[in-house]
Amino acid sequence: MKYFFRIRLDRVRSLATSYRQNLADAGKILNLKKDSSGPLVLGIDTGGTYTDGILLDYHSRQVMATHKSLTTKRDLSIGIEEVIKNIPIKDPSAIKMVSISTTLATNAIAEGKSKRVALLLLGYDPDLIAGFNMQRRFTTPHYYYFAGGHDLYGREKQPLDLPAILTQVAEVKDQVDAIAVSGYFSPLNSEHENRVQEAINNICDLPVVLGHQLSTKLDSVERATTAALNASLLAVLHDFVMAVRQAMARRRIDAPLMVVRGDGTLMSEAFAARTPVETIHSGPAASAIGGRFLSQLDDALVVDVGGTTTDIALIQDGQVVVNEEGAIVATYKTAVKAANLFTIALGGDSHIRLNREKEIAVGPERVVPLACLTEQYPQILDRLDILSRRTAENISPDWLEYWFLLREPQNNSLLKTKRHQALIDILRQGPQPFPEILKHLNLLHVSQIDAETLLGQEIIGKSGLTPTDLLHIEGRYAPWNTKAALLALNAFCRFQLRNPIEICQHIWSRMTEAIVRAIITFLSGKKLPPPSLPDDDIGRWFFLNSLYANHPQIETRLRLYQPIIGIGAPAGIFLKDVAEVLHTDLILPDHHEVANAVGAVAGSVMVTEEILVYPRMSKDGFNVIGYYVQAGDERKLYDDVRDALSYARSTIREHALDAARHAGADNPQVTVKEKKDGLDAYRIQAKAMGNPRLNTTIYEFHNKF
């Protein structure tokens, strides 16, 4: 059954008259204000498609300049240096802080590019782990079990088998890049983890990460996962920060460097170097912070539409809603607090193709728009012209997929097969349509090429028909070759035996449907019936009737109470229909195109510290004979719970203040909360928050909101 979106295409076109943002011009400065007399801060965000930069007057909150550059996934620092190079900075000494949000940690984990780690598990039960198949959550194949660990009351389960640990470390130290140590109930007693670290440091120079220093949660598997991930990212983030520092030095910028956490707060580069796992979801969190900062709305839904993905976050009471249970990256659940996000693989550069059922699909793969590729390789235009005039029997959408050479491979080890070398040789002649590549290689299917490594390392790229191409045709956004986009759409329509307007309506409605579906799933926590279900499913019918108003007698509608803050250059185009379907307002604040970079400098520095107070039990386990206070590596015993809690309250305040200052906070303020954690146990939590420390001290910035 075909559904036609109720907002007509000609009406949608009229929305574009005010849309003047050229998102893809990597060399164009988007906005340049008058000179600033106050201190400046430089914010940079590395997204899946573009790296954005903004120069902000810290006093007035005025955006002085912005710039976009293509993200280079093989080396994010290349795109960052391009941004820094192209933002006009008259006096480098006026820049008092640089802050970056990065997808580096998330991408490194998802793409398997993190470093090798040996995970040492103290007191874990191998049979229990294997019985529930929990070892797949450890993120590393190099995990080892040893005697040791503690129980729920911080008592030693078994003596620590240090000789066996050192023997194992000696065997693997040349095969891994870091070591993670996680002891059973180590947040209640860190003695074994500390002893292991000290012993390892005596026999090798590998960095050692301890689980209790990253999380006080008692979930042993999550803590081990977090420790292993953190260890795997140490060298990755270190190299990235050094590259950013070098780019700053080339522009003679000498300022504090901050990194956005996954919850949208900031931390110093030194703090980030120790806990890189906390940068998971850094980029989307910065978008949410930037949306709130630019719109000054305290309650809203932030929807960030990029070239690769659409990210959704919720702002409540002026704060990004955080997932207290722990961030999930790839298939791994961590103990790291991060913004509560929902992401779908849909953006301006999503590949328009046919799925297995021969139906039109948008995404999930991101490709270079054909209009853009033709701008660089004009010879493609003639091929598209010939293709658009073929009959339906002699055409296939595969001919609209072009592969091209992005760069010469620097390391021949990346060319795993002779087919890889043959593919590179073919693409040196220029971009080639996919069927032509198969013919040259004498292959039948894409899986035979095994090109994932070459694509992931950005040695080769893909191009195809995208929503960005359709925007060229409709005149809503046309920085590149509009004729190429039109010819590609005509060829696609010939194969489908449908007219271009019908195809465009279909694609826009499918994109709107996908975003609305994602918003409902995110806010409700419930999955909508999949499109494969029959039309008589009431949930599916209600949803589709709310979008497309198909029923002649019954109207159904969805209503979102909060407004939508649109983030990203395509937001004004893609989210107008979404807001109308959800009967809410779409807010497009000034500079929403680079709000993610704004969020990189708009956040506060916040540190959360916890101290655990729990009972010391008698030998028979029935009587409480004292109370332990576990504060990091320090453990003290008190006879009376009041003395234990009093010490915990005073100590946690100092710990939080000290940690916040090390994280880069200026004049942090502390709040302390206390909650029961079981019958006789307590968690004392302190949050320290302050403005980021600049070369010039500033206090009033965040207090304006």
Confirm whether 66 is domain-assigned. Answer: no
Confirm whether 498 is domain-assigned. Answer: yes
Number of domains in the chain: 3
CATH number of the domain where residue 664 is located: 3.30.110
DSSP state letter for 388? H
User: Does one domain contain both 498 and 639?
Assistant: no
Q: What is the mean pLDDT of the chain?
A: 84
Closest CA to 33 of 88, 82, 84: 88
pLDDT at residue 32 in the model: 44
User: Does one domain contain both 227 and 359?
Assistant: no
Q: What is the pTM of this model?
A: 0.81
User: Does one domain contain both 613 and 499?
Assistant: no
- Rounded Cα–Cα distance for residues 696 and 153 (Å): 48
3-state secondary structure of 502: helix
In the block, residue with structure tokens 């942090």: 668
Q: Domain boundary at 457, 482, 503, which? A: 503
pLDDT at residue 416 in the model: 62
Closest CA to 83 of 41, 150, 28: 28
E strand or H helix that includes residue 468: helix 467-474
Cite the DSSP H helix spans in 142-298. 162-172, 191-201, 220-250, 269-274, 282-295
**Which structural domain range is residue 620 located in?**
605-704
Instruction: Decide: residue 276, CB within 10 A, 0-12 exposed, 13-18 middle, 19+ buried.
Output: buried
Confirm whether 537 is domain-assigned. Answer: no
pLDDT at residue 103 in the model: 78
Confirm whether 615 is domain-assigned. Answer: yes
Confirm whether 428 is domain-assigned. Answer: yes
Q: Residue ranges of the chain with pLDDT lower than 50?
A: 1-33, 697-705
Give the Cβ contact number of residue 669 at 10 Å: 12
pLDDT at residue 27 in the model: 39
- Rounded Cα–Cα distance for residues 330 and 325 (Å): 16
User: Does one domain contain both 362 and 482?
Assistant: yes
User: Does one domain contain both 499 and 367?
Assistant: yes
Confirm whether 24 is domain-assigned. Answer: no
User: Does one domain contain both 490 and 359?
Assistant: yes
Q: Are 366 and 351 in contact (CB under 8 A)?
A: yes
User: Does one domain contain both 358 and 499?
Assistant: yes
User: Does one domain contain both 489 and 610?
Assistant: no
Which value, to the nearest 10 degrees, does the dihedral of the CA atoms of residues 4, 9, 15, 18 take? 140
End-to-end CA separation in angstroms for the chain: 50
Q: Domain boundary at 234, 263, 284, which? A: 234
CATH number of the domain where residue 171 is located: 3.40.50
Confirm whether 34 is domain-assigned. Answer: no
pLDDT at residue 697 in the model: 44
DSSP state letter for 659? H
Q: Domain boundary at 459, 484, 503, which? A: 503
Confirm whether 517 is domain-assigned. Answer: no
